[in-house]
Amino acid sequence: MGRYFVKRVLSTIPLLLVISILIFAFIHLIPGDPVRKMLPKEATQEEYEQLKEELGFNDPLPVQYINYMKGIFHGDFGESYKNGLPISEIFPARLKATLTLTLWAILWSVVLGTLIGIVSAVKRGKFLDYAGMVIATSGISVPSFWLGLMLIQIFSVKLGWLPTGQLDSWKGYILPAITMGCSIMGTLARYSRSSMLETMQEDYVRTARAKGQRESLVVLRHAFRNSLVQVVTVVGLQIGGLLAGSVLVETVFSIPGLGRLMVDSINFRDYKVIQALLMFFAVEYIVINLIVDLLYGVLNPKIRYD
């Protein structure tokens, strides 16, 4: 496993280089540049050309790329064209907001989602199964934007129990975390249900029952543990998506997270911020996939890494 780990980590280096070139090329290929937005609208063409030159946008793209990469190797991701702040300062606060929210959303949705999945599988075809699947399907199909606004209307405006967003206190996390976690809860409930149903048919489950083991033990120790491989795959993919920031949830609840930063930066053509964000998302996906692959071995010792 140690060798496998080292091999995987080393293989990411060329991958990241290729990704960085692709990102750089694509961002600069889309029309528009930040210079117009940086200048007052009365600015003349001369002022535009001057600023463009100063920012180095007139250099050939490969030169711009090399300058950019040089900066990165010195730990300097550059500054935002929009507000002049160094990216190394903007990023941590934004990441913290997204990360905290993601954790809360994942936490409740994984617990509730798998629970619904297990119960639905065990009570297959009964009322609880249907109820669980209605909740799961609603969770997946309700648009998060709409759900967020509804929760604000009910719990903030009508009842006055919770703030409309802003992560100033723990209360601020509740509504966004619910909104964010809903579709994951639903997806997980469905996956864990079908995965449980499959394992419940396995011979070893029948054997365990035949040995006279208690049903709860059969379900949790034999069936659930073996269905976890699929669940972990789904959770891994979902976390990857959530860490890229949910633009809609962050917008509805006025949370300064990575998703909103990404959209704002694209609108402004804030190249350096976009590049830094995309690189981070790439690394993040690679790391999460690695963790998921390693977890497979922990959950199912039959899986080997050769």
Partner 1 sequence: MMKKRIPALMLAAAIAFSAAGCSGGNQPSESSTAPSGEPSTSSATAPDNDLVVAFNTDIQSMDPHNTTDTLSITVSRTMYESLVTFDENQEVVPLLAESYTAEDDNLTYTFKLRQGVKFHDGTDFNADAVIANYERCLADTTLRQNSRVAKWESCTKVDDYTVAIKLKEPNSSFINQFTQFQIVSPKALEEGLDLNKNAAGTGQYTFKEHTEGDHVTVVPFADYWGTKATVDSLTFRAVPEDGSRVAMLQTGEADYIYPMPTVQAAQVDGTDNITVGAVASNIMRYVTLNTNLPELSDKRVRQAMNYAIDKQAYAAVVFSGYCEEVLSCYPSTVSYYSEQTPYTYDLEKAKSLMEEAGYGDGFTLTLWGDNISAEQTGMQFVQQQLAQIGIDVEVLPMEPSTLSDMIYVDEDEAEINMWYVNWSASSFDADGSMRSILHSDMVPPKSANTAYFRNTEFDSLLDQAIKTSDPEQLTDLYAQAQAIVWDEAPWLFLGNDELVYGAKSYVSGITLNPDGSVDVTNAALAQ
- List Cβ neighbours of 162 (8 Å cut-off, separation of 6 or more): 155, 156, 171, 172, 174, 175
Q: 48 or 305: whose CB is closer to partner 1?
A: 48
Determine the 3-state secondary structure of 152 from DSSP.
Answer: helix
For residue 181, give the nearest of 66, 83, 101, 95 by alpha carbon.
101
Q: 7 or 126: whose CB is closer to partner 1?
A: 126
Minimum separation from the CB atom of position 87 to partner 1 (A): 11
- List Cβ neighbours of 112 (8 Å cut-off, separation of 6 or more): 185, 189
Q: Which two tokens stand for residue 1?
A: 């496993």
Q: 14 or 160: whose CB is closer to partner 1?
A: 160
Minimum separation from the CB atom of position 135 to partner 1 (A): 9
Residue with token string 């633009």: 247
Tell the burial category of 174 from Cβ atoms under 10 Å away from its Cβ (0-12, 13-18, 19+). middle
Minimum separation from the CB atom of position 305 to partner 1 (A): 41
- DSSP codes of every residue in 236-294: HHHHHHHHT--HHHHHHTT---HHHHHHHHHHHT-HHHHHHHHHHHHHHHHHHHHHHHH
Q: 24 or 271: whose CB is closer to partner 1?
A: 271
Minimum separation from the CB atom of position 8 to partner 1 (A): 34
Residue 125: DSSP 8-state: T
Minimum separation from the CB atom of position 235 to partner 1 (A): 25
Rounded distance, CA 300 to CA 15, Å?
A: 29
Rounded distance, CA 249 to CA 175, Å?
A: 10
Q: 8 or 37: whose CB is closer to partner 1?
A: 37
Q: CB 94: neighbour CB atoms within 10 A?
A: 22
Binding site for partner 1 (CB under 8 A): 30-33, 36-37, 39-45, 47-48, 50-51, 54, 82-85, 89-90, 93-94, 125, 127, 130-131, 133-134, 138, 142, 149-150, 152-154, 156-158, 160, 163-166, 251-254, 256, 260-261, 264, 267, 269
Residue 111: DSSP 8-state: H
Q: 51 or 69: whose CB is closer to partner 1?
A: 51
Q: 180 or 252: whose CB is closer to partner 1?
A: 252
Minimum separation from the CB atom of position 166 to partner 1 (A): 7
Rounded distance, CA 94 to CA 256, Å?
A: 6
Q: 113 or 139: whose CB is closer to partner 1?
A: 139
Minimum separation from the CB atom of position 129 to partner 1 (A): 10
Minimum separation from the CB atom of position 188 to partner 1 (A): 19
